Amino acid sequence: MTTFGAGRVGSVAERAKMRAYVLYTSGSTGQPKGVQVEHRSLVNLLQDFRDRLGSGPGHRWLALTALTFDIAALELYLPLISGGTVVIAPPEVARDGQQIARLVADRGITHVQATPSGWQLMLDGGLRTCCATRSTTATRTSTSGRTATACS
């Protein structure tokens, strides 16, 4: 972390431009490349999704995504900035639709985000609804066109 002056961290504007993390990708060239994500960019993403989804205290987010993918930041940090809880799925669970469905039910998960193939995995594993007691739900369509009602 960069410090300014006698051990003091810079102004809010200066800190906002500091790196939050570096995401490595091979992109279209096949050559590794590090993409620097600034704090202000991460905060902008999190605040936008917090407002769009109404994420707040009492919400339980399932973190399924590998940390090497950028959307993992949403799963990990959004619940933390909005007073919610992060439930991190072990890697072996994240690859098994039945185990995901069981984890969602057992841990009272209210928010899950996934790719179409991820939704397909969860549908095939028996996930039909992740929060029967929640009033806000959204329908997600899998790659086969089947739908599941999931909290959002």
Instruction: Determine the average pLDDT of the residues in 10-38.
Output: 83
Give pLDDT tens digits for 16-29.
888 888 888 777 78
**Vertex 71: Cα angle to 146 and 21 (nearest 5):** 170
Q: Is residue 7 part of a domain?
A: no
Q: Is pLDDT at 141 greater than 50 in this prediction? A: no
Give pLDDT tens digits for 76-119.
999 999 999 999 999 999 999 999 999 999 999 999 988 888 88
Q: Is residue 138 part of a domain?
A: yes
Q: Is residue 2 part of a domain?
A: no
What CATH code is carried by the domain that includes residue 126? Answer: 3.40.50.980
pTM, whole model, 2 decimals?
0.72
Q: Is residue 145 part of a domain?
A: yes
Between 79 and 6, whose confidence is greater?
Answer: 79
Q: Is residue 40 part of a domain?
A: yes
The whole-angstrom separation of Cα 5 and Cα 29 is 41
Q: Is residue 75 part of a domain?
A: yes
Structural domain count of the chain: 1
**Domain range enclosing 42:** 12-151
Q: Is residue 120 part of a domain?
A: yes
Q: Is residue 34 part of a domain?
A: yes
- Cα dihedral 91, 58, 131, 139, rounded to 10, equals -80
